[in-house]
Structure 1
Amino acid sequence: MTQLPKIELHLHLEGAAPPAFIRGLAKEKSIDIGGIFDADGHYKYKDFWDFLKVYEAATSTLQSPEDYHRLTLAVLEESAASGVVYSETFLSPDFCGNRDVGAWKEYLHAMQEAADQAERQMGITLRGIITCIRHFGPEKARETALCAAETAGSFITGFGIAGDEKILAPKDFLWSFDCAREAGLRLTAHAGEWGGPESVRAALHDLNVERIGHGVRAIEDLALVDELAERGTVLEVCPGSNIALGLYKDWRAHPIAELDRRGVKVTVSTDDPPFFHTTMAREYDRLADALEWDKGQFLKIAQTSLDAAFCDADTKDRIRKTLEAAHA
């Protein structure tokens, strides 16, 4: 399935950093983060909450706009190799200048330059979704939202929230989402991964988002599934991530097919691919094997993803032609 053009809507930039890239940065800067890798050089963690700690330790090696320029190129090279032609990545000013608007703009400029280079050289288009970190609290989220509002435009097209779903509630971040909405940004929120179906309902009703990151636990509440279908809410589903973190025992047990059958708009993404030993090509291959999805189903997934993308109409038209040519 590598040759099929793919659209990815749920990718954390730092979480997509190849382990070798992070080890190289740590060596350059004499930072000791050896404990986050296993004997084979892969990221090592026990559960989701340990994963968050390892993620933040890896991110500590990224200390300058130049580091993020290099990271963006490395991540887009991996994505392009899997056939991704359009990607949206979560960007956190928390890690890029400590939410200072001036510093954030310098980091953003470096990432956008790298994205432009990748588009010229690899044929992959990138857009950014600024994301506040739930377990960092509402006050820091406000600062993140102001960074988002100051840099909203053709590259920064969305705003969201990630982090530990069991800390605080979506409504605690309403100011930040209202600020982003007023700046013209499209909205998404992580929910329905660890918080259960009630977290999906809260994100829908309290934050009025149009997309949900993960959202798979909605399957435990069929009334909520019906509401998602009626609203046309798009789920950014990351099957390999869910399985690696133990939400579901295997690919056949994953609810993506049942959600699709019940009329919910589902998409496929990798989340933090090297942490979960996955790529977009592998996600497609495993779904094809486990669910017997064919080329037509993957075209449907790609079209749903493109329709839900936060980019402008001209970009969508260009990417749509690529999809249509591959499936002709």
Structure 2
Amino acid sequence: MRDMPKVELHLHLEGAAPPAFVRGLAAEKKVDLSGIFDERGAYAYDGFVDFLRVYEAATSVIGSPEDYARLVRTVLEELDAQGVIYAETFVSPDFCGGGDLSAWRDYLAAMREAAEDVAAKGGPVLRGIVTPIRHFGPERAKAPALCAAETAGAWIVGLGLGGNEAVGEPKDYAWAFDCAREAGLRLTCHAGEWRGPDSVRGAVEDLGVERIGHGVRAIEDLALVDTLAERGIVLEVCPGSNIALGLYPNLRAHPIARLRDREVKVTVSTDDPPFFHTTMTQEYDRLADAFGWEAVDFAALNRVAAEAAFCDADTREKILKRLEAADV
């Protein structure tokens, strides 16, 4: 499983920061973050809301373009070790310059330079999806959307919406998504994780997204499941995340297989891997154990992910060729 080439579409950049990386930055900056780690040095939180608190505390020490460049290299090194050949990562101008466009350009240049250097040396290819933070509110989502629109292109390829799903409705963020759409960016949105099927329907109908982050609770409304299948809406499913946060008790209870059986396009990602004690290889191993999926199933999942990627056509063709070469 580790050596199988993989495509990951749902990965939060700061959420992929290893605890040791964050502790190192905190030590350099003389910031006490001991309260967010357990006795083993892992991230420690109690439930989803507390997870957001710990996430934002960890992010607080990643404070400069240089820090983000270091983070990109660290994350890509881990992705390479897991066989990931292409990934899309969520990045937020709220954390990278406080929503200021000029500052965001500096952060973006540093991240992109680091990512392109890794790719030039044969490492994974990385692209960015700008993500306003939902619990910061609809008005504050406008600045990240403008940052995305102004820097849309070969590296910033999409707009998403992360954070606490309990805040607001998808339609409240329509301005940000319309702004990104007009700039030619592709659209995704976290939905159907902590709220039910209506949140998925709202993201599809009110925001016009083509992918949904998580989306697993669509299974509670089979008419919606059929709509997702008919429209080809792709779900960025993160099984390990869902189980770690208590959404489902175990993988056998997780709906990813049922969604796939009903012809919904599903993909597999890790979300915030060190927070949820997972890797792409572990996700594949656990899915194989739970559902009896074999190499042909994972190859199909990766083709779906490659086709759903927000990258340009040339990059997609290269990814597909690498996947096809591994199938031979």
Q: TM-score range by the shorter chain?
A: over 0.9
In structure 1, the partner of 2:139 is 139
Shift of 1:196: 1.1
Task: Please say if 1:161 is aligned against 2:161.
Answer: yes
Give matches, 1:102-251, under 5 Å: 102-251=102-251
For residues 135 and 252 of structure 1, the distance between their equivalents in structure 2, rounded to whole angstroms, comes to: 31
In structure 1, the partner of 2:76 is 76
For residues 306 and 95 of structure 2, the distance between their equivalents in structure 1, rounded to whole angstroms, comes to: 28
Shift of 1:120: 2.2
1:104-159, CA deviations, whole angstroms, 9 ceiling, x for partnerless residues? 00000000011011112342100000000000011110011100011000000000
Which one-letter code corresponds to 2:27 in the other structure? K
For residues 108 and 309 of structure 1, the distance between their equivalents in structure 2, rounded to whole angstroms, comes to: 20
For residues 121 and 255 of structure 2, the distance between their equivalents in structure 1, rounded to whole angstroms, comes to: 37
1:263-317, CA deviations, whole angstroms, 9 ceiling, x for partnerless residues? 1000000000000000001101111111110000001000000000000110011
Task: Please say if 1:62 is aligned against 2:62.
Answer: yes
Which one-letter code corresponds to 2:168 in the other structure? L
For residues 118 and 77 of structure 1, the distance between their equivalents in structure 2, rounded to whole angstroms, comes to: 9
In structure 2, the partner of 1:50 is 50
In structure 2, the partner of 1:33 is 33
1:161 aligned counterpart, secondary structure = coil
In structure 2, the partner of 1:22 is 22
Gaps of 5+ in 2: none
For residues 122 and 217 of structure 1, the distance between their equivalents in structure 2, rounded to whole angstroms, comes to: 38
1:228-273, CA deviations, whole angstroms, 9 ceiling, x for partnerless residues? 0011100000000001001111111110000000010000000000
Shift of 1:91: 0.5
For residues 122 and 91 of structure 2, the distance between their equivalents in structure 1, rounded to whole angstroms, comes to: 21
For residues 122 and 311 of structure 2, the distance between their equivalents in structure 1, rounded to whole angstroms, comes to: 19
Cα pair 2:76 2:123 within 8 Å, conserved: no
Shift of 1:325: 0.7
For residues 124 and 11 of structure 1, the distance between their equivalents in structure 2, rounded to whole angstroms, comes to: 14
In structure 1, the partner of 2:294 is 294
Which one-letter code corresponds to 1:20 in the other structure? A
For residues 151 and 110 of structure 1, the distance between their equivalents in structure 2, rounded to whole angstroms, comes to: 13
When the two structures are superposed, what TM-score results if normalisation uses the length of structure 2? 0.99
- For the aligned residue pairs, the C-alpha RMSD in angstroms reads 0.6
Cα pair 1:241 1:270 within 8 Å, conserved: yes
Which one-letter code corresponds to 1:113 in the other structure? E
For residues 16 and 124 of structure 1, the distance between their equivalents in structure 2, rounded to whole angstroms, comes to: 15
When the two structures are superposed, what TM-score results if normalisation uses the length of structure 1? 0.99
For residues 33 and 12 of structure 1, the distance between their equivalents in structure 2, rounded to whole angstroms, comes to: 20
Aligned length: 328
Cα pair 1:77 1:122 within 8 Å, conserved: no
Give matches, 1:284-323, under 5 Å: 284-323=284-323
Cα pair 1:80 1:122 within 8 Å, conserved: no
2:39 aligned counterpart, secondary structure = coil
